[in-house]
Each structure stands twice: as C-alpha cells, then as structure tokens.
Structure 1
Amino acid sequence: MAELFRRELIYLWYYLDIQLRQIAGYWILGMILGSVISVFGKEKIHRLFTALQGKKLGVLGVVPASLIGIVSPLCMYGTIPIAASFSEKGMEDDWLAAFMMSSILLNPQLLFYSAALGPAALLIRFTSCFLCGIAAGVCVRYLCRNKTFFNFSDFKEPASHDTDPNLLLRLLKNIGRNIRATGLYFLIGVILSALFQRYVPADVTASLFGRGNRGFGLLMAATIGVPLYMCGGGTIPLLMGWLQNGMSMGSAAAFMITGPATKITNLGAVKIVLGLKNFMFYLAFTVLFALAGGFLVDYVFLR
C-alpha cells in the first residue's frame, strides 16, 4: 500500500511539474502586465471611454465600448462602480452594456494567461468576448428601447488602492494584490488538471466534449462553466488539459463565455444592477451566445 501511494505521488508530481512548466510563466507575466496596465493605464483607458460620449456614433459606439471593456484591467466588482460613474455622466445604456459585458468576460491579464492555450484558442477567446460585448450592446439598444436597463443607485466608484507616491512601490503593491487574488485559484487549477490527467482517460473527455458529440458537448461545457469557474487563471490549466485530451475548440469557447459571465461570486452584483427581469435576460443571452459561438467555432474547425 505504501509503495502504491508513493508511486501515485510520483505520477501526480510528474503531471504537476508539466503543468507548472507549461503555464506558470504565462501566469507570472500576465500578473505583471495586468498590474502595469492597472497602475499606469487604467485612468487613461477610462478617460478614453468617457471621451466617446461626445461623439455621435449611435449603435456603432458599442464597438469601441466593447474593445475598451477588454483592455480595462478591472474585475466585476471594479467594473460595476466604474460603469455607475459613466452612467451618472450620461453614457448610453447600450454602450455601457457592451463595456460591462466584455469587461466581465476578459481583461489583459486573463488574455495573456490564455496564450498558454495556443494561438487559436487565444484568438477565439478575444474574438468571442469582443463580439459578445457588441451583441449585448445591440440587444440592449433595440430590445430595451426607451427603457432604463441598469440601476446603479447602490453603487459608487471605489477608492483607488494605487495611491503610493512611489511608482515602483505602487506597482509592487498591485502585483502583490494580484498574487493574493489569483495565486490560490491558479494552484487549485493546476492540481485539478493534474488529477484529471492522471485519473480521467482521454477518451472520456473526447466523448463528452469532442467534435463527435457537438451538441451535448457544447451544452456540457456551457453548463460546467457555472460551478467550476472561480478565477480565470485557475481555469486555464483545466482547459489546457481538456483540449489536449480531445475537447473541441467550440466547447472550450462556450466554457470561456459562460464561465466568467456566470461566475457565482459575480451574479449577486449583476442581479442588483439589472433587476430580476433583466438578470434573466442576461443569463439567457449568455448561454445562447455561448452555444451559438461554440457551434460556429466547431463548424469552422471541422471545415
């Protein structure tokens, strides 16, 4: 028994070592990049979004709004108060919807993490999140015309933590907060991926999420994104293992949409801002976009 236990530990360490070698560098560099943007570029990014307000772009404003949401380094709890301040300044709801949706789905730090999945997955993640933000803005503009979609009355812009007069210390403190916020989830993701690779046969992953089971696989991927998605960095090792074991790129795309959009810790804040009716619309939109996007990605890859 002791020998068997020791052998299993050796196997698990082998998989852990592979995972860490493959992805740890992306995690470290992603944190540094995210902190640099947060400390030195966040205010400029948000001023850029505010500057759009004076331009008569109409529905086309959702395009730059979605892109700015992606490059904004804020998490959900930072995005909502910032969006509330934009709303107070008269920003249109459809532009806010595009900004918030894409910001919830992706940020520069997570985008850099996703490079560990390969160039195809990186491009799909960026494109799908960008288009999802645009689609959210268009839906709000035309389906909620002459109605107020958001209620930011309970949210105010938070005080910035990046206040140290020494720029180097400000950056180091931001990196430290990033490590505390993502480090544990990253480690859990690596451990779960190692356990998955060791004890779940590759053909099981292929049968559940592979191209031969497209409809059910996409639905499964979209569904498990809800309970499994706790931190973007923590899911990258899992996705890497699943893709290596036969998960289709479409299923991965569906997971990358529903996961962050329905993250359990975020849904309460989203419901407060949207109200019950709009909250249900948000959930339905997210799942339908994820499934449609997954089908399209698999169709392209199969061709």
Structure 2
Amino acid sequence: MAESIRREFIYLWYYFDIQFRQIFFYWALGIFIGSVVSVFLKKQIHSRMASLQDKKIRLWGILPASALGILSPLCMYGTIPIVASFSKSGMREDWIAAFMMSSILLNPQLLFYSFALGTEIAVLRLLVSFLGGCIAGIFVYLFFRKRNFYEFTEFELPENRDRDSNLFLRLLKNIWRNVKITFPYFLLGVLLTALYQRYIPSQWVSGLFGSNRGLGALMATALGVPLYTCGGGTIPLISAWLGEGMSKGSAMAFMIAGPATKLTNLGAVKIVLGARNFMMYLVFSVLMATVFGLVINLFF
C-alpha cells in the first residue's frame, strides 16, 4: 500500500515538474510585463482612450478602443469606473463596448502568458480578442442607437495603489501584488494538469476536442463557462490538451468563453447592464466563442 502511494506520488511529481518548468517562464514574463504596463503606462492608455472623443472618426473609433482595451491592465471591477467616466463625458457606447469586451478577453499579462501555448496560439488569441471587441462595438452601434446599452450610475475611480515615489519600489510592489493574486491559481492549474495527465486517457481529449472539430469547438465553449477561473490556472491545462490532440479552434473557444463568462467578470458586467442586456451579453459571448472556434478550425 505504502509503496503504491509512493509510486503514484512520484508519477504525479514527474508530470507536475515538467509542466511547472515548461510554463513558469511565461507566467513570470506575463507578471513582469503586466506590472510594467500597470505602473508606467496605465494612465497614458486611459488618457488615449479619453482623447478619442476629440476625433471625428465615428464607428471607426471601435478599432482603437478595442486595441486600448487589450492594453489596459485593469480587472473588470477597475475598468467599470474608468468607462463610467468616459460615458459621463459623452463617449459613444459602441466605443465603450469595444473597450470593455476586449479588456475582458485579454490583457498584457495574459497575452504574454499565452505564449506558453505557442506563438501561433498567442497571436490568434490577440487577433480574436481584438475582433471580439470590434464585433461587440458594432453590435451596440447597430441595435442600441436610440437607447442606452449600459446603465452607469455613480462610480468612483479606483484607488491608484502604485504611488511610491521610487519607481523601482513601485514596480516591485506591483509585481508582488500580482504574484500573490495569480501564483496560487498557477500552482493549482499545474497540479490539476498533472492529475489529468496521470489519470485521464489522452484519447478522451482527442476524441472530444480534436476528431470532430465542429463539436469540439461547441464542447470547449460549454466547458469554458463553468471551468474557467483564472488565466493563470487554465494555461497549463490547455497546454496539455493541445499536446494530446485538442484543435486550435477548440482551445480558442475555451479561452474566449472562459474570461467572458468568468463569475467575477459577470458580476462586474451585471452592475452596468440590466437583466435583458445581461442575457444578451451571455448569448453573444457564447456564440462568439463557438463561431471563432469553428472558423479557426476551418483554417488552422
């Protein structure tokens, strides 16, 4: 009995160690880049978004708005007061929708972390997140010209915690804060991946997410809704799935549906949407994930 337990522990440690060493560099790089953006560029990014109101670019404004949403390092609870201030100053709701949607789907930290899945997957994730923001902006433009999509009330701008006069210390504090938040999820993701690799047959993944690519994208979307908790916890698992036959489209569907329907993001989005618009957001997110997954499976 003891020998059997010891043998299982050795197997699990073997899988855990491999995943940890393969993924850790990208997680650390994402933490560093995300903190640099948060400390030194956050204010400029949001100022650039606010300055769009001075330009007469109409619907085309969703393009820079979606790009700036990806660059924004704030979580959704930090983003809402920012976009509420944009709305109060008269910014178009289609631009706000593009900014918020792309911000939900991706941020600088998660982008660099995604390179653990390969350059092609990371670039596809960047492109899909940008297009997702643009599509959300177009949706609001087409169907909410005569009525409001968002219901912003009075929100206070989030407190800036990067206030140390020493820039180096400011950066270190931000890095440490991000490590404390994401490292437990990273370890949990690696552990779950090790358990999966030890006890789940690889044929299960290839059959569910690989052989039938249409069904695979749909199933990945369905799994992304309840399983996605944090990007730091899902990258190791997706990496293992891709290695065992998961299609790129299925992986992308999971990575779109996951953050779009993550409980913390849903709680924040529900604050600014009524019940009807909130349901529309959920349907939109699930359909977008599935369609993007199917399209990617067709061409990649």
Residue number in structure 1 paired with 2:247: 248
Deviations 1:89-113 (A, max 9, x none): 1111000000000001100000000
Alignment of 1:29-40 (within 5 A): 29-40=29-40
Asked if the contact 2:27/2:113 (under 8 Å) is kept, the reply is: yes
Residue number in structure 2 paired with 1:2: 2
Residue number in structure 2 paired with 1:219: 218
> What are the ranges of 5 or more consecutive residues in structure 1 without an aligned counterpart?
none
The residue type equivalent to 2:277 in the other structure is N
Residue number in structure 2 paired with 1:82: 82
Asked if the contact 2:249/2:292 (under 8 Å) is kept, the reply is: yes
Deviations 1:36-78 (A, max 9, x none): 1100000011111111111111111101100000011111111
- The answer to which of 146-155 and 191-200 deviates more is 146-155
Q: RMSD value over aligned CA atoms? A: 0.9
Deviations 1:227-248 (A, max 9, x none): 2111111110010011011111
Q: CA deviation at 1:261?
A: 0.5
Q: CA deviation at 1:145?
A: 1.2
1:111 and 1:208 mapped to 2: Cα distance?
26
Residue number in structure 2 paired with 1:275: 274
Asked if the contact 2:217/2:250 (under 8 Å) is kept, the reply is: yes
2:264 and 2:48 mapped to 1: Cα distance?
29
Deviations 1:186-240 (A, max 9, x none): 1100101111111111110011111x22232212110111221111111100100
Please state if 1:187 is matched with 2:192. no
Q: CA deviation at 1:154?
A: 4.6
The residue type equivalent to 2:113 in the other structure is Y
| TM-score of the pair, normalised by structure 2 | 0.98
Alignment of 1:1-303 (within 5 A): 1-210=1-210, 212-301=211-300
1:161 and 1:187 mapped to 2: Cα distance?
26
2:91 and 2:159 mapped to 1: Cα distance?
21
2:154 and 2:89 mapped to 1: Cα distance?
16
Structure 1 segments (4+ residues) deviating >3 Å: none
| TM-score of the pair, normalised by structure 1 | 0.97
1:268 and 1:41 mapped to 2: Cα distance?
27
The residue type equivalent to 2:47 in the other structure is R
Quote the sequence identity (%).
60
The residue type equivalent to 2:42 in the other structure is K
2:142 and 2:218 mapped to 1: Cα distance?
28
The residue type equivalent to 2:31 in the other structure is M
The residue type equivalent to 1:170 in the other structure is R
Q: CA deviation at 1:183?
A: 0.8
For residue 94 of structure 2, give the secondary structure of its aligned residue in structure 1.
Answer: helix
Q: CA deviation at 1:19?
A: 0.5
Deviations 1:123-143 (A, max 9, x none): 111111100000000000011
The residue type equivalent to 1:199 in the other structure is Y
1:155 and 1:273 mapped to 2: Cα distance?
10
For residue 50 of structure 1, give the secondary structure of its aligned residue in structure 2.
Answer: helix
Asked if the contact 2:249/2:296 (under 8 Å) is kept, the reply is: yes
2:268 and 2:102 mapped to 1: Cα distance?
16
Q: CA deviation at 1:116?
A: 0.4
Asked if the contact 2:104/2:265 (under 8 Å) is kept, the reply is: no
1:165 and 1:279 mapped to 2: Cα distance?
41
The residue type equivalent to 2:122 in the other structure is L
1:72 and 1:220 mapped to 2: Cα distance?
30
